Chain A
Amino acid sequence: MKLANFKSLLWGLPVIVILSMLMYGCPSQQQLGANADAAQKVYVAPGEYDEFYGFMSGGYSGQLSVYGIPSGRHLYTIPVFSQEATNAYGYSEESKPMLNTTHGFVPWGDSHHPELSQTDGVPDGRWIFINENNTPRVARINLSTFTTDEIIEIPNSAGNHASSFVTPNTEYVSAATRFSIPMDDENLNNEDVPISEYSEHFKGTLSFIKVGDDGKMGIDFQILVPGFDYDLSHAGKGPSDGWSFFTSYNSEQAHTLLEVNASKNDKDFIAAVNWRKAAEYAAAGEGRMVEGEHYRNYVDHDTHTAKSELIEEVRVLDPRELEGLIYFLPTPKSPHGVDVDPSGQYIVAGGKLSTVIPVHSFEKMIQAIENEEFEGEIDGIPVLNYDAILHGEVENPGLGPLHTEFDDRGNAYTTAFISSEIVKWDLETTQVLDRIQTYYSPGHLMIPGGDSQKPWGKYLVALNKITKDRYLPTGPELFHSAQLIDISGEKMKLLLDFPTEGEPHYAQAIPADLVRPNQTQFYKLEENNHPDAVKGEDETRVERDGNEVHIYMSTIRTHFAPDNIEGVKVGDKVYFHITNLEQDWDIPHGFAVKGMNNSELLIMPGETRTIVWEPKKVGVIPFYCTDFCSALHQEMQGYIRVSPEGSDVEIAYGTGQ
């Protein structure tokens, strides 16, 4: 009897073995992609180019990183909101104005959501915009030079998370305040009030930045909204063109321990903004101008120099006074991402605490507005009936759905943060079709063109927040991982993963053919109208002006002119104005001085850059080129003699005999 029992137990053993093999087998699903087929799909042979440029925000690095897709090769990092000592962005006199704000010079910011400019709802490769959260700013980057051309500060905002999202013809870039703050009725100035009086005083703003044909940005209007936290946004397209959608959380208006107190309501809201109507109101002079000092910093291409312009006022529209500006779409539960599908009919929300993905129908939303199917009103903003606007709910979408992008075949792909997976579902039927594990905790995801009217729909990149065990470890800090997934077939397939710089929040990608032909290879010397430029070695010189010494220097392979300078004294303020005379691609010259309390310079061919040095010690100080430029790069050096304060050494300089 006992033996028989034991025997029947033995029968169970193979089951346990198989089960344990399966369980061990699960993690190795990450190996499934590592086969020859996947390798072939991401292999870009030496000398060949990637199919797409991928732009990934640098997160807390404040920059924008450029990757090749599908290879995952890191191509470049564009400095945007943070100083970059490598090329003196934010250190040189020409670039310092880019980081001016009403808080003074702000040398760091966290970059979040890049978005490519669009024409007719399709990325066009002219510019890419990116927002900063901490000191609310939006930047425009020129894709012919991969440099930041303009940065505008957002007034009356306390954290700029819901940007930078563009309308289908780049008419506007939208932005919204993440943190509401107390604002006085008169001028929206931040007030000195008890934080406990949140619900009485705190307000938010949604901002619309007008973009000119030349890219010039200006805040056209802001819309005053209830004191919630505004999170993400996307513009409508096709039938919903003219509308923008912003998610909000904390409709509870909590001000402490938000993880509990802002997670109570069953539904928060998506704010549907009729921006076309708002633009008409603004053009007609509706609303009012309020104090709203903010900086617009831009590169003057004539002089290659950034300039700052202080704008003092901003137009504010109040939905309590102007009808039809905003409607609230109730959305479960603390929605994070809001994504509009390529047809422009569906508005998908990622309810991060929700167990379903709600999909709103734009058509039903318009009907509900016409039929006045309102559940209520908040601060003059009608709240639409949830059931009246709902297209459907995606059941069992994974835990913590955050963001959705789309392919060109009617499918949606949503990241599930908590269950670490990407879920593919059908937009019409809202049925889940496929799911794939990610490693680990994906935030945003990106499909080339996947938030536009033309998804290229071949690849998907998951931007994961946790990287442990994916690569050779690098101590406590690990760069976040991006995972490239093939979405061309029925089933999603993991092809490649690669570490990224900083913590990429969102990303965009565009076919390389739309960007590559427009590349600037060098700046034409004859078009360099920098006031301190030298056009040839015969123009180089050193001039003293009181305690300022201006050195007008040139660089060319493989020497500086002048390379011997005397007559500088301790206590002087020395300006090195250096022009790179090269007219050849990929020949920048560097410049560094021993002990300088600043960065190096990296000067592009045909460009002039200025850096300030205040010598504190007597002696002969070397300077040299830092960018290996030619066979005689090591010889590219010079000396500057520093004499004691008050000495009578005259200014002298020269190169050669």
Chain B
Amino acid sequence: MKTKHRITMAIAALLLIALYFLPIWSISLEAPQYPEGIGLNIHIHTIEGKQPQDLQNINGLNHYIGMKKIEPDSIAELKYMPPIIAFLIVTGLVVAIWGNKKWVMTWLILFMLLAVAGLVDFYLWEYDYGHNLNPNAAIKVPGMTYQPPLIGSKALLNFNAVSLPHTGFFFALASMVLAGLVWWRERVEGKDEKNS
């Protein structure tokens, strides 16, 4: 593999460091009595309120309808995610040093599989929070569940929930695009050299 492609591959791996600092997803809640907005930022290792007090306030609001408390410490995924990302960074760097086009693709496929698995897991987690309601909840609306959308917006009683990727996600996406680019350029330039 060419040096410039090795460097690009290394950058693709290193971009993932941003995931330790930036949220990957966000859920915003809009309601008339919260004109200033209220919401959650989801990081690979924790869930935080957009404002420090938001998590407590969302838990407080959710208890009326019997949703479980969101307690970042008790969510297993938030423990697995950081080492998985670390694994991707290390293997990405190894691929860059090793310089094998096929392994770039292998790494990329692995990354994408993990990403899809993450989204599926996120969906299941949302499903559980939105459906697994306390039967003693104060407010019970027949047929109503409170699963936020995976992406996009959805009306949940007086709240409109908006779920969107956050900055960290775009770093991950950029990492994938760069790795894909490396594989593709190697392929194209490799063919060119053969043909010439």
Per a CB cutoff under 8 Å, which of B36, B53, B60, B139 touches A557? B60
Does A631 lie within 8 Å of B60, measured CB to CB? no
Does A584 lie within 8 Å of B64, measured CB to CB? no
Does A522 lie within 8 Å of B53, measured CB to CB? yes
A362 to B10, CA, bound (A): 76
A524 to B138, CA, bound (A): 28
User: B56 contacts the other chain (Cβ, under 8 Å)?
Assistant: yes
A655 to B104, CA, bound (A): 59
User: B57 contacts the other chain (Cβ, under 8 Å)?
Assistant: yes
Which residues on the A side are within 8 Å of B36 (C-beta)? 585
A631 to B52, CA, bound (A): 24
Which residues on the B side are within 8 Å of A558 (C-beta)? 64, 138
User: A632 contacts the other chain (Cβ, under 8 Å)?
Assistant: yes
Per a CB cutoff under 8 Å, which of B57, B64, B139 touches A583? B57
Per a CB cutoff under 8 Å, which of A522, A582, A585, A631 touches B64? A631
Does B60 lie within 8 Å of A632, measured CB to CB? no
B44-84: which have CB < 8 Å to A?
A: 52-53, 56-57, 60, 64
Q: List 20 A-B contacts (CB under 8 A).
A: A522-B53, A556-B60, A558-B64, A558-B138, A582-B57, A582-B60, A583-B52, A583-B53, A583-B56, A583-B57, A584-B53, A584-B57, A584-B60, A585-B36, A630-B64, A631-B64, A631-B138, A631-B139, A632-B64, A632-B138
A557 to B57, CA, bound (A): 10
**Closest beta carbon of chain B to A584's beta carbon, Å:** 5
A558 to B139, CA, bound (A): 13
A557 to B60, CA, bound (A): 7
A495 to B153, CA, bound (A): 47
Which residues on the A side are within 8 Å of B56 (C-beta)? 583
- Chain A residues with a Cβ closer than 8 Å to the other chain, count: 11
A70 to B105, CA, bound (A): 68
> Which 10 pairs show the lowest CB-CB distances between chains A and B?
A583-B53, A584-B57, A583-B56, A557-B60, A632-B138, A556-B60, A583-B57, A584-B53, A631-B64, A632-B64
Question: B-facing mask of A540-570, CB < 8 A → 1, else 0?
Answer: 0000000000000000111000000000000
Q: How large is the interface on B (under 10, 10 to 19, 20 to 34, 35 or more residues)?
A: under 10
A430 to B56, CA, bound (A): 63
A632 to B60, CA, bound (A): 12
Extra contacts besides A583-B53, A584-B57, A584-B60 (15): CB < 8 Å: A522-B53, A556-B60, A557-B60, A558-B64, A558-B138, A582-B60, A583-B52, A583-B57, A584-B53, A585-B36, A630-B64, A631-B64, A631-B139, A632-B64, A632-B138
A582 to B139, CA, bound (A): 20
**Closest beta carbon of chain A to B157's beta carbon, Å:** 11
Question: B-facing mask of A564-603, CB < 8 A → 1, else 0?
Answer: 0000000000000000001111000000000000000000
**Closest beta carbon of chain B to A607's beta carbon, Å:** 14
B133-172: which have CB < 8 Å to A?
A: 138-139
Which residues on the A side are within 8 Å of B53 (C-beta)? 522, 583-584
Give the one of B60, B138, B139 with max A CB within 10 A.
B60
Beta-carbon nearest neighbor of B38 in chain A: A584
B1-58: which have CB < 8 Å to A?
A: 36, 52-53, 56-57
Beta-carbon nearest neighbor of B138 in chain A: A632
B interface residues, Cβ below 8 angstroms from A: 36, 52-53, 56-57, 60, 64, 138-139
Chain A interface, DSSP helix/strand/loop, else mixed: loop
A556 to B56, CA, bound (A): 11
Beta-carbon nearest neighbor of A606 in chain B: B53
A92 to B64, CA, bound (A): 31
A53 to B56, CA, bound (A): 33
A630 to B139, CA, bound (A): 12
A558 to B52, CA, bound (A): 21
A246 to B36, CA, bound (A): 48
Give the one of B36, B52, B56, B139 with max A CB within 10 A.
B56
A557 to B138, CA, bound (A): 12
A213 to B57, CA, bound (A): 36
A289 to B30, CA, bound (A): 62
A582 to B57, CA, bound (A): 8
Which residues on the B side are within 8 Å of A632 (C-beta)? 64, 138
Question: B-facing mask of A452-482, CB < 8 A → 1, else 0?
Answer: 0000000000000000000000000000000
Give the one of A558, A584, A585, A631 with max B CB within 10 A.
A584
A522 to B64, CA, bound (A): 22
A632 to B63, CA, bound (A): 12
Beta-carbon nearest neighbor of B63 in chain A: A557
Which residues on the A side are within 8 Å of B64 (C-beta)? 558, 630-632
**Closest beta carbon of chain A to B14's beta carbon, Å:** 36
Beta-carbon nearest neighbor of B33 in chain A: A586
Beta-carbon nearest neighbor of A586 in chain B: B33
A161 to B109, CA, bound (A): 82
A168 to B20, CA, bound (A): 51
**Closest beta carbon of chain B to A274's beta carbon, Å:** 50
**Closest beta carbon of chain B to A521's beta carbon, Å:** 9
Which residues on the B side are within 8 Å of A556 (C-beta)? 60
**Closest beta carbon of chain B to A45's beta carbon, Å:** 16
A584 to B138, CA, bound (A): 21
Beta-carbon nearest neighbor of B35 in chain A: A47
Which residues on the A side are within 8 Å of B139 (C-beta)? 631
Which residues on the B side are within 8 Å of A583 (C-beta)? 52-53, 56-57
A517-537: which have CB < 8 Å to B?
A: 522
Which residues on the A side are within 8 Å of B57 (C-beta)? 582-584
Which residues on the B side are within 8 Å of A557 (C-beta)? 60
Beta-carbon nearest neighbor of B57 in chain A: A584
A104 to B64, CA, bound (A): 48
**Closest beta carbon of chain A to B37's beta carbon, Å:** 12
A556 to B57, CA, bound (A): 10
**Closest beta carbon of chain A to B80's beta carbon, Å:** 28
Beta-carbon nearest neighbor of B139 in chain A: A631
**Closest beta carbon of chain B to A58's beta carbon, Å:** 31
A582 to B40, CA, bound (A): 18
**Closest beta carbon of chain B to A518's beta carbon, Å:** 16
Beta-carbon nearest neighbor of A584 in chain B: B57
A631 to B140, CA, bound (A): 13
Which residues on the B side are within 8 Å of A522 (C-beta)? 53
**Closest beta carbon of chain A to B137's beta carbon, Å:** 11
Which residues on the B side are within 8 Å of A631 (C-beta)? 64, 138-139
A632 to B139, CA, bound (A): 10
A583 to B36, CA, bound (A): 14
A601-657: which have CB < 8 Å to B?
A: 630-632
A556 to B61, CA, bound (A): 11
A558 to B61, CA, bound (A): 10
Which residues on the B side are within 8 Å of A584 (C-beta)? 53, 57, 60
Beta-carbon nearest neighbor of A47 in chain B: B35
Give the one of B36, B52, B53, B138 with max A CB within 10 A.
B53
A585 to B34, CA, bound (A): 9
A584 to B139, CA, bound (A): 21
**Closest beta carbon of chain B to A566's beta carbon, Å:** 24
A630 to B60, CA, bound (A): 11
A632 to B36, CA, bound (A): 23
**Closest beta carbon of chain B to A652's beta carbon, Å:** 23
**Closest beta carbon of chain B to A90's beta carbon, Å:** 30
Which residues on the A side are within 8 Å of B52 (C-beta)? 583
**Closest beta carbon of chain B to A561's beta carbon, Å:** 13
A424-468: which have CB < 8 Å to B?
A: none
A522 to B57, CA, bound (A): 13
**Closest beta carbon of chain A to B31's beta carbon, Å:** 12
**Closest beta carbon of chain B to A627's beta carbon, Å:** 15
A632 to B61, CA, bound (A): 11
A631 to B139, CA, bound (A): 10
A246 to B1, CA, bound (A): 89
